[in-house]
């Protein structure tokens, strides 16, 4: 695989490190103007010898216009084209044509892996036309424009993102709250002691007074779990808590959702999935920062014991909440998880991730994460990480007036605001009551966790892994700051 801009074409033919077959294919493509090097132009040429079978050329466009996000999309489209040829290995030859400061090794390895993602767990036949062989990728870097460390970082980040995708795509009968607990435990047990695992069962949560969480869980025959992973390396200067919504299936409870599209509610645990993918990656990357990963895992089901509209429950922090709609359950499990995490760990900052509101999809579609914060500097750092990674974030307002919309009639709070009014904002404002003044950002990934279209490295009909690359970039930058 070759990456070429229009200006590279003539110079590339004079290279003496290419085999005759590759040179012939490249020369044919260039001289016949079948390949011009335009942005995201993709051409595959058959080679006469047995190895390599094909040469694939990807157009970078004008180098002055190339951005990291453009390169991600080029790579993802390229790997899909190569996969269609059914090859099982790929050699990528880097040129010295990338802009100065580009982490091209990281970007290319990350994007090739993200672009080639397939979820095969439930396919029973390798002959399925929708599947292609997994490709082993080797990077050749004769000009040493990218370090091995950069390449390995790209691999780790993609691995964490694809792990999150796998969790999101897993059928809900195979990923209950206790299964999610087991995934976290397995991650800790394979971390060479870098992760410490613990969890609360429902009896422990009852002792602690986490009745918002328990109200959601009590309609299911499968008990809820609150799971903790601690990553505390030596000489870390900062402590960050990541809290993920982990509703492994959401029927809406007594406030039952419509049947159409309810199968997609297996994705309602993607916040917890993003936390797990991030924890896996930071262990591999050995980041010098303390990170606590918290999973608020439950099912939201209708049952004779299920929570009802009109119920009033008391949270871990003592606030009372009137339940007006049982389908606004994510903020309830997150609220108890956030307040316990803030109280017990006293982190420097907290970030929660949740497929929280359909209103976020109405506002932002599937192309941006919605953010609510109590700390502008923290939120701006998150937004900057989103711009660098393509995991984009848009900040929504947090005016004090929004708090009036969730004041309860018979309790301190109610779990929804007025229908049709600022649903994403009021959900975030609700969560702010449980962060104990710790600097905090709420990330609503309802639109970005699945259903993303038009971005080459996000697979169709699949969980996207939203939030993982964003969090890793944020944690990397914070870990090396003063």
Q: Is residue 88 assigned to a domain?
A: yes
Residue whose structure tokens are 């335009």: 38
The counts of H helices and E strands in the chain are 14, 16
Concerning whether 159 is annotated as a catalytic residue, the answer is no
- Rg of the chain on CA atoms, in Å: 24
pLDDT (average), residues 145-173: 94
275 & 395 share domain: yes
* pLDDT beyond 70 at 273: yes
* CATH label of the domain that carries residue 38: 3.40.220.10
Burial 57-77 (b: 16+ CB within 10 A, else e): bbbbbeeeebebbbbbbbbbb
250 & 161 share domain: yes
Distance, CA of 131 to CA of 86 (rounded, Å):
10
73 & 168 share domain: no
User: Which pTM does this prediction carry?
Assistant: 0.96
pLDDT, one tens digit per residue, over 99-136 is 877 888 899 999 999 999 999 999 987 666 655 666 77
* pLDDT beyond 80 at 38: yes
Options 80, 257, 319, 388, the catalytic residue: 257
Domain limits for position 205: 155-479
* pLDDT beyond 90 at 39: yes
166 & 134 share domain: no
Q: Where among 142, 165, 183 does a domain terminate?
A: 142
Measure the N-to-C terminal CA separation of the chain; round to a whole number of Å.
40
Report whether 449 contacts 267 (CB < 8 A): yes
pLDDT value at residue 138: 81
164: number of Cβ within 10 Å: 30
Residue 351 CA, distance from chain mean position: 13
Distance, CA of 129 to CA of 135 (rounded, Å):
16
Q: Is residue 301 assigned to a domain?
A: yes
pLDDT value at residue 139: 81
- From residue 5, alpha-carbon distances to 110, 137, 304, 455, 469 in Å are 21, 22, 64, 21, 27
Sign of the torsion angle spanned by Cα atoms 470, 472, 475, 476: negative
* pLDDT beyond 90 at 95: no
pLDDT value at residue 45: 86
pLDDT value at residue 50: 60
339: number of Cβ within 10 Å: 23
Concerning whether 257 is annotated as a catalytic residue, the answer is yes
Q: Is residue 147 assigned to a domain?
A: no
56 & 167 share domain: no
pLDDT value at residue 254: 98
349 & 404 share domain: yes
Closest CA to 1 of 81, 71, 61: 81
113 & 196 share domain: no
Nearest 5°: the CA angle 311, 272, 179 is 90
Token pair recorded at residue 350: 């907290």
* DSSP one-letter string for 295-364: EEEEEE---TTS--TT-EEE-TTS-EEE-S-TT--HHHHHHHHHHHHHHHH--SEEEEEE---HHHHHHH
pLDDT value at residue 97: 78
- From residue 237, alpha-carbon distances to 196, 233, 344, 440 in Å are 19, 10, 18, 18
Q: Is 260 exposed, middle or buried (CB count within 10 Å of its CB: 0-12, 13-18, 19+)? A: exposed
Q: Is residue 246 assigned to a domain?
A: yes
Options 43, 153, 266, 331, the catalytic residue: 331
pLDDT value at residue 142: 66
* pLDDT beyond 70 at 51: no
166 & 94 share domain: no
């Amino acid at each position: 695989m070759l990456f070429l801009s229009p200006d590279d074409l003539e110079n590339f033919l004079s290279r003496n490190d290419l085999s005759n077959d590759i040179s012939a294919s490249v020369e044919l493509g260039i001289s016949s103007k079948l390949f011009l090097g335009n942005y995201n132009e993709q051409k595959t040429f058959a080679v006469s010898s047995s190895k390599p079978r094909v040469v694939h050329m990807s157009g970078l466009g004008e180098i002055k216009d190339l951005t990291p996000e453009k390169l991600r999309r080029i790579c993802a489209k390229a790997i899909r084209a190569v996969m269609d040829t059914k090859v099982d290995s790929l050699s990528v030859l880097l040129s010295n044509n990338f802009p100065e400061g580009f982490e091209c090794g990281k970007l290319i390895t990350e994007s090739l892996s993200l672009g080639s993602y397939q979820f095969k767990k439930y396919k029973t036949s390798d002959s399925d036309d929708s599947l292609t062989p997994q490709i082993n990728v080797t990077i050749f870097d004769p000009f040493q424009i990218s370090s091995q460390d950069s390449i390995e970082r790209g691999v780790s980040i993609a691995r964490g993102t694809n792990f999150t995708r796998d969790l999101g795509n897993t059928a809900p009968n195979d990923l209950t709250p206790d299964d999610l607990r087991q995934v976290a435990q397995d991650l800790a047990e394979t971390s060479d002691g870098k992760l410490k695992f613990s969890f609360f069962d429902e009896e422990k949560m009852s002792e602690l007074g986490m009745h918002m969480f328990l109200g959601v869980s009590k309609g299911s025959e499968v008990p809820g779990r609150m799971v903790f992973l601690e990553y505390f390396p030596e000489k870390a200067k900062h402590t960050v808590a990541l809290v993920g919504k982990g509703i492994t299936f959401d029927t809406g409870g007594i406030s039952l959702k419509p049947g159409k599209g309810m199968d997609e509610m297996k994705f309602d645990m993607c916040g917890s999935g993003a936390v797990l993918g991030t924890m896996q990656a930071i262990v591999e990357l050995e980041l010098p920062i303390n990170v606590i990963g918290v999973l608020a895992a439950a099912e939201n089901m209708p049952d004779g014991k299920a929570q009802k509209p009109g119920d009033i429950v008391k949270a871990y922090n003592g606030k009372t909440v009137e339940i007006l709609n049982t389908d606004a359950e994510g903020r309830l499990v997150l609220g108890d998880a956030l307040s316990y995490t803030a109280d017990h760990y006293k982190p420097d900052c907290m970030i929660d991730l949740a497929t929280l509101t359909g209103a976020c999809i109405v506002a932002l579609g599937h192309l941006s994460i919605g953010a609510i914060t109590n700390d502008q500097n923290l939120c701006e750092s998150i937004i900057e990480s989103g711009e660098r990674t393509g995991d984009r974030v848009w900040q929504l307002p947090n005016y004090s007036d929004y708090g009036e919309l969730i004041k309860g009639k018979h309790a301190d709070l109610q779990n929804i605001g007025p229908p049709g009014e600022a649903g994403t904002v009021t959900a975030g404002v609700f969560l702010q009551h449980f962060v104990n003044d710790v600097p905090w950002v709420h990330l609503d990934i309802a639109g970005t966790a699945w259903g993303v279209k038009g971005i080459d490295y996000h697979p169709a009909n699949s969980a996207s892994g939203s939030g993982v690359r964003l969090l890793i970039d944020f944690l990397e930058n914070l870990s090396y700051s003063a």
